[in-house]
Amino acid sequence: MNYTTLTFSAAVMATAFAFSGCGKKSGDSASTSAGSDAPKKKMTEIRAKGSDTMIQLATAWAEAYRKVDPNVMINANGGGSGTGIAALVNGTADICNASREIKKEEAEKIKAATGKDVKETAIAYDALAIYSNKANPLTDISIEELTEIWAEGGVDENWEQINPAFTGKIVLIGRQSSSGTYDYFREHICGKTADKKQREFRQGISELVGSSEVVENVVKTPTAIGYSGMGYKTPGVNWLKVSKKKGEPGVEPGIDAARSGAYPISRKLYIYTVGEPEGETKAFIDWVLSDAGQKIVAAEGFVPLK
Amino acid sequence: MHDSAHTTPRRRRLPLIDWFEKPIELLIRISGWSSIIGVVTIFLFIFREAAPMVPKLDWWQFFTSPRWIPSPGAGNAPSYGALGLIVGTFATTGLALLVAVPVGLGAAVYIAEFAKGKTKETLKIVIELLAAIPSIVWGFIGLMILGPLLQKLFVAEAGSTWGKIMVTLHLASTETGAAQPTNLLCGGIILALMSVPLIVSLAEDALRAVPDSFREAALALGANQWETVRRVLFPAARNGLLAACLLGMGRAVGETMAVLLATGHSNRIPEALTDPVRTITATIASEMGETAHGDPHYQVLFILGIVLFIITCGINVAADLIIKGVKKQGHA
């Protein structure tokens, strides 16, 4: 669950604190052995902030990277991609994990605040799965139908409009507006209005503060539909196969489908830094892109780059 | 006072105390004033952050439209319609009071007038413990236990009698019953549970403040215990009891984490008791993190903060005036 990972990141933070305060007294074997090699080498802290979708991935990286370089402490926090980018602007984070591309105005804000261009590194693929309750017999859904379900002014409000075999008002469960998942889903599902502007979500969607909370609520709500990352599937929910147009066969979210683009709702995940990454940050990002880092990507339910 | 302190023999023996007295006095004075300074600074801070938006905001839309799109897609203008949030806040609070006031006053009467010895002490301790449960835990209870329970209670086949009753009485918006486990009812009950301890302890104080001569007089007139409570104690402690309820209400209005988890956090005007809602506090909590300092969205969240501040301030001032009323009556 997301809360556990949050607690874990809090624990990571607390440890980072303890370490920076009393590195010498540390009981951690890895750190003491490194300390004996280079007794005056300082602990470096890399502050990572951003996407809630990527928080499990980020904490898993942080944990694994301690074995790679015990002198570097990755402090991974969530809050949403927008929050992470805001942290780059304010200088309260060194790297931002983002589940969407940076917006033009955000890049300009970083340039204005720091004088440097933001640097983008794609690190994984993610497919947004459409979750429905086990009680719902529906197996396939099209982007066209999803638009009518989620977008403002959409016509589909009841399940019988999608599939006569299931009735009830559709309960929409999504993410809060600071998450990259929210932005991404709005852009790719709600589509454009007649005057070529972004069509907004309809009102009355439960905007929850966490990827696993979305799935948790779909489990408890028979008539629900929700969107969340692929890594959050539990036994109580179904994945809907997604097609572009109504009537076409749907594609199940999966590694190959996400990477090839056959699955219509897949996206890249990014790490953003202010300027070219340097020193320990560069070493960390290089490691993330290496086989070891990408193995963790797969283990956390995301899709590795290669 | 300083001179007289020197003339007392005890003071002469401990000159250090004299030396310390002034700074300590100052420290205590600062502590006393700090709360006032705190309130004023908080208000100034909230107002300063919100001020640039005050002339720009479409206030009509803010109070009459439920369309809340603070971070719109590329090319769209944001829509700051807070009606749904304001209605959500009042709906959850109102429901919480409906549950908490009878339960809280009943418990207070029982503890103050009926319970004796060990029962009384145990109850008081347990209720104080209840007040110490963190709000996030209450939220979890709502999401994981109470919500699913309510969902089982408010469920029916489409077309069934219970389904029709639920729709007619606005218990559920469809005949199949409550769709989501987390909703207005779940949030209201959780808030009620959270404000009950406050109401109980304040109401019990108010009841205890009624002089025993009142009780004795009532009993002497032949009233039984229930009549004493209803006819004598309630009117005598009226203001204190009202203040207890208002402070409980203040607690419910300002609660954040529990309602974020337990209400469904869905922006809409609820049509039925088991529709999900979204409150002002939960909106500020979930959206504050994303906004850049000085952004219109940031400023609108502060305006929501002012609305909330005015509501809670109003409640507290009302409670205060009522308590003052009690004192005046006591002196007269």
The string of DSSP codes covering chain A is -HHHHHHHHHHHHHHHHHHHH-TTT---HHHHHHHHHSTTPPPEEEEEEE-STTHHHHHHHHHHHHHH-TTEEEEEE-S-HHHHHHHHHHTS-SEEEESSPPPHHHHHHHHHHHSS-EEEEEEEEEEEEEEEETT----EEEHHHHHHHHBTT-S--BGGGT-TT--SBPEEEEE-TTSHHHHHHIIIII-B-TTSSBPPBPS--EEESSHHHHHHHHHH-TTEEEEEEGGG--TTEEEPEEESSTTSPPB---HHHHHHT-STTEEEEEEEEESS--HHHHHHHHHHHSHHHHHHHHHTT-B---
**Position B14 confidence tier, pLDDT thresholds 50, 70, 90:** low
What percent of chain A stands above pLDDT 70?
Answer: 87
State the nearest Cα–Cα gap between A122 and chain B, in angstroms. Answer: 22
Q: What is the pLDDT of residues B57-99, one digit of tens each?
A: 999 999 999 999 988 877 788 999 999 999 999 999 999 999 9
* Choice between B51 and B326, residue whose per-residue pLDDT is larger: B51
Could you tell me which chain A residue has the CA closest to the CA of B182? A217
**Position B327 confidence tier, pLDDT thresholds 50, 70, 90:** low
- The predicted structure's pLDDT at residue B320: 81
**Position A22 confidence tier, pLDDT thresholds 50, 70, 90:** very low
Q: Is the pLDDT of residue A15 over 50?
A: no
Indicate the average pLDDT of chain B: 88
Q: Closest to A83 (Cβ–Cβ): which among B67, B84, B289?
A: B289
Q: Is the pLDDT of residue B326 over 80?
A: no
Q: Is the pLDDT of residue A35 over 50?
A: no
Q: What is the pLDDT of residues A238-261, one digit of tens each?
A: 999 999 988 888 999 888 888 888
A105 contacts in chain B (CB < 8 Å)? none
State the nearest Cα–Cα gap between B72 and chain A, in angstroms. Answer: 7
- The predicted structure's pLDDT at residue A1: 42
* Choice between A178 and B196, residue whose per-residue pLDDT is larger: B196
- The predicted structure's pLDDT at residue B290: 64
Please provide the size of chain B in residues: 332
The residue among B265, B291, B298 with the most chain A CBs within 10 A of its CB, best to mutate, is: B265
Q: Is the pLDDT of residue A224 over 60?
A: yes
B181 contacts in chain A (CB < 8 Å)? 217, 220-221
Q: Is the pLDDT of residue A79 over 60?
A: yes
Residues A38-45 have a mean pLDDT of 67
Candidates A112, A82, A113, A114; CA nearest to A97 is A82
Q: Is the pLDDT of residue B23 over 70?
A: yes
The reply to whether residue A217 touches residue B70, judged by beta carbons under 8 angstroms, is: no
Q: What is the pLDDT of residues B158-214, one digit of tens each?
A: 888 888 899 898 888 888 888 888 999 999 999 999 999 999 999 999 999 999 999
Candidates B178, B139, B161, B150; CA nearest to B271 is B178
- The predicted structure's pLDDT at residue B332: 43
Q: Is the pLDDT of residue B16 over 80?
A: no
